[in-house]
Each structure stands twice: as C-alpha cells, then as structure tokens.
Chain A
Amino acid sequence: MTSVPVAEPPPQEGLGRRLSTFFFRHPRARLWTLLALPLTWLVVVYFGSLFVLLLSSLWDTDPFTRQVVHKFTLENFQRIIDTPVYRDVAWRTIKMAAFVTIADAVLAFPIAYYMARVASPRTRNLLVIAVLMPLWAGYLVKAYAWRTILSEGGVINWALDPIGLHFDGLSTVGLWLVFTYLWLPYMILPVYAGLERIPDSLLEASADLGGRSLKTFTRVILPLAFPAIVAGSIFTFSLTLGDYIAPGLITSEQFIGTVIYNIRGEALPTAAAFSLVPIVVVTAYLLVARKLRAFESL
C-alpha cells in the first residue's frame, strides 16, 4: 500500500504575508501606498510653498514699519506694472535669455552633430560623459571662474593685449558670454539626441534626389532637429530668467533675479509679485514648446 501524501497544514500567517495578500487583492491600495510619501512631500513642501508665494504677493506692507501686513491687496502688482524700472528689468532679462539661447543653439550644433553622426561609438560615449559632467556640477565655481577670467588682469585681456585690444568683460556682453557658457551642455545633449534619431536613409534619399549638402542640411536635417533645439532652449531660457548669482558676479546691471534677490528682505510681497514674471514667461514658453513637440526630445 502506498501512503497518500497528506497536505500539510498551512503555515502560520505572518504580518508580511497577510499584508502581501491584502495588497494582492487590492492593487489600488498598493498603488496609493507607493504614492503616499512622494505625493505628500511634493504637494505639501513644493506646491504648498508655491501657494504661499502666490499668497505673499497679495499681502500688504505697512508703509511705516515695512512689516508685512496680512491683508489682501493688488498693490504689489500695480507697482510692478506702473514702475518703469521693473518693466525695463523684465524686458532686459527676456532679451538676454533670447540671445543666450541663440548663441547656445549655434555653438551646440557642430559638436552635437559630430557626436550623433560622425564619431565612433566609443568617442561618442566619451563625449556624452564629457558634456554631462559639467552640466550638473560646479555652477558657482564656473561663474566665479569667469569673473576671474574676464576681469582686468584676467586671461582674456592678457590674450588680447598683444594685439592691442581690450575687452570690458565685467559688462552685459561679458554676462552674455558667461550665460552662454553655463547653459551650453543643456543645449548640446537634447540636440545630440534629436540628431541621432534622424535615420540615415532620409539623408541618403535627399542625396539620391539631387540634394546637395547645404540643401540636405537646411531642408532635411534642420527641420527634423528643430524640436530638439526647442527642447534645449527650455533650459537655456528658463535658467537665464531666474539667475541672480552670475549677474551679481559679472555686472552691476539689474536682472529679474537680482531684483528679486535684493528686495526680498525688505519687500517680500513685491519680490513675490515680481517672481510671477518668470513663472508666467516660462509657462508660456513650455506651452509653445509643447505645441512644437519639443517634449518628446527632452
């Protein structure tokens, strides 16, 4: 006679197993357990803070003590619209952001093209790392390095001196150069990714149809790479709009960032109201970028 195997009694259910069973039966509960912490953090810390910022732009300021009074008023916005200085500063900053974006796009294209279509896979990997490393690192050190390089006794004027030239580096033009330098990697990487996605066959087809190099470039490559350039420009534009360190180090000219930074101590409500300018401009920029399908290239 063969013995019939007897089923063992189920093991004592531990807490972990009971929880697992519960989560298996309730996938929604599992999802919300995963989301609870990150969502709470972002909503409370980040969106909460943005809300407080919005609220601050509506607070009144006591004219005598300069203390913030918790009473709603639209005066801060009125002041920003009415005072020509704020308008000039905003316009100057937006112009700067536009010029920086153009310079970065022009500078980024050759190296991005080389990485995407000419370099060997090994060189390409090395170049991606070489561009990526300074993207996240050393923002302040770079701005400081440029102040040293651009100043009177710095490298630039040392190099220009023998040919009888002088460059006033600590100026708006100098700042334009510094911004262009700071955000260049942010433009190179999306443009590289965009160019890499263009299939070889399209360029060959253009050549077969008689398109010379220049025509292939303007009629095939540029239109296909345009969304990637817009994707990169989101960073060059937004980062320039909100910067106050580089302008403060390089020039005495005022920009949106430096104004907010300088008045935040004595006039937080006005600073908060003025900070809506970059928020609105960047949001509008993002909407246009989405229309141009730039997000797919991010």
Chain B
Amino acid sequence: MVESTFARILLRLGALVTLAFIYLPLFIIGLYAFNKNVTQAWPIEKYSTKWFSVAYHDEAVREALKNSLFAALGATAISIVLGTLASLAVARYRFFGREVITFAVILPIALPGIVTGLALQATIIDVLGPLGITFGLTTIIVGHATFCIVVIYNNVIARLRRTAGSLDEASADLGADNWQTFRHVMLPQLRTAMLAGGLLAFALSFDEVIVTIFTAGAQQTLPIWIFATLARPDDQPIVNVVALFVLLVSIVPIYLATQLAGSSGITAERPKQSSVIASIDAEP
C-alpha cells in the first residue's frame, strides 16, 4: 500500500459521503410514502400507513401495475431469447462483421433515450399504423425488448468466455445432438447468467419511462401513471407510495442478479470488476 494513513481516512470519508449522497434521496422519498398529510412539507409531521391502502385499492394503479408486469415479463422473455442467441454466435464463432453485432446490440442503450423513443414513435405512426397496429402494450414490449437485449447479451457472453467450448464438442463426440448438448451441457452453465440478465432486463423495463412515453397508447404503465399524476397535487400521497413500490420492485431484482452472477458456471471465482454495460457477470 502506497497511500498514507491520513489519505486512507480521507478516502474512506469521501466514499461514505458519496454513498450517503446516493442513498439519502431514496430514503427520503421512502419516508414520504408514510406521510399522513397531503402537503409535501419537510419535516414530516405525522406518519401513517393509510396511503398504502388507498394506493392498493386505486383502480388506475392496479391497471397500471398489471400493464407494467405484463410489459416487463414480455420484454424480458423476448430479450432472453434474442440476447442468448446473439451471444452464442459472437462468443463461439469468428466471422466478418462480428464487432458490428456487438455495436448493434449496445446502440439502443447508448443513444439518448429520446432518439430511440422518437424513432419508434415515427415508425409506429408511419409504418405500423397502415398495417393496423397502433400504440399499446405490444409496442411497449417491442421497444423495451430492443434495449433489454444488451443486458442479457453481456451477461451470457461474459459467462461463455469463462467456460470452455470444448465441452460442447465433447458432448457431440459422445453422441448428443444439438438440442441435447444445449439442454444438458450449455444450459446448466449459462442459466444463472441468463437469469441474472433476465432480472436486470426486468428491472430495466419495469421502471423505464423515457422510451415508454413514446410507444404507449391509452394503457399506462406504473412509471407513466406516476408521470401523469404528478400534475395532480391532491394525489401526491398515492404517488409517493407507488414511487416507493416501483423503486423496490426494480432494485430487488438487481440485488438478486448480483448474487446470482458470481456463483456457478464451470469456473466458480467471483468476477473482479463490473463495468456499466457488462454490469454483473464481467470477465475475470
């Protein structure tokens, strides 16, 4: 260690302050969910859980929750299939345009969300409209699936790089057909990476709002409901409760994903680094 004791204490202090900065606002919005008053003044005078039951019985909130779950599950399912297929091709083959695939998978999340959103909106109006498809849950799912592919892709490809392709060949040598090899050799190695990616995709989709606003029709997802209801001050207490709920439903799967990604696979060591896009199952 090169750092002096004084420097280390300062760094620890800096890390603590930054961590507090990241989590304090989340904590405060969590407290507001228990605010008895309709006004949003700080400090909170009386605490109560009454808004939880109001939110629970709100028809619009229930409808939005149903839509959100449906959209997130649909987008996750599609992106698990597409992301795994793409990662198998890129990890196990050398071919012309291999880097282009990686680029194409990352682009939907790298370009500003408003560009993706506006592009999808223009397409739904100009191309899908004449075909009889309009804004709705289907278009929401298609949009979400497109930018969710990348998290599955990155998790599975990181796992594939840590596992040996020779196992697949051994399986074929022992007489397994492609499906048997996939089912009994590859899937046991990949499934935790796929699940970790799937949990991330679910979280990503469940609270997405920037692209969703451009692809949604009359149906609201929970984030769109929050966004629309912000204009009605009387409903702020319900918004606080729903906001806390959305936060928990998207943060818990991410925690689970971090716990899953390091374990199992042929090599069992924990990945050392996590980058932003590769997220969790990074290379050792």
Contact = CB atoms under 8 A, between A and B. Distances in A.
A131 interface: yes
Given A139-B207, A186-B276, A189-B274, A53 B119 contact: yes
A256 B255 CA distance: 34
Contacts, number: 292
A233 B211 CA distance: 22
B67 to A, nearest CB: 15
Contacts of B48: none
Contact of A264 (B26, B118, B279): B118
A52 interface: yes
Interface stretch (B58-66, B77-85, B159-167): B77-85
Interface residues of B, number: 98
A287 interface: no
For chain A, the bracket of interface size reads 35 or more
B86 A139 contact: no
A265 B162 CA distance: 48
Contact of B251 (A47, A138, A184, A249): A138
Interface in B209-231: 209-210, 213-214, 223, 226-227, 230
A194 B279 CA distance: 15
Interface string A144-170: 111011010111001000000000000
B36 to A, nearest CB: 16
B239 interface: yes
B122 A132 contact: no
Give chain B's interface secondary structure class: helix
B254 A242 contact: no
Contact of B230 (A130, A192, A249): A249
B280 A138 contact: no
Interface string A247-269: 00100000011001100100010
Contact of A46 (B1, B14, B146): B146
Interface of A: 14, 16-17, 19-20, 23-24, 27, 31, 34-35, 37-39, 41-43, 45-50, 52-53, 55-56, 107-108, 110-111, 113-115, 117-119, 125, 127-142, 144-146, 148-149, 151, 153-155, 158, 181, 184-186, 188-190, 192-193, 196, 200, 203-204, 206-207, 213, 216, 232, 234-235, 238-239, 241-245, 249, 256-257, 260-261, 264, 268, 271-272, 275, 278-279, 282, 286, 297-298
13 contacts: A35-B86, A49-B122, A50-B115, A52-B126, A108-B18, A111-B19, A113-B11, A134-B22, A137-B254, A144-B226, A146-B25, A193-B275, A260-B114
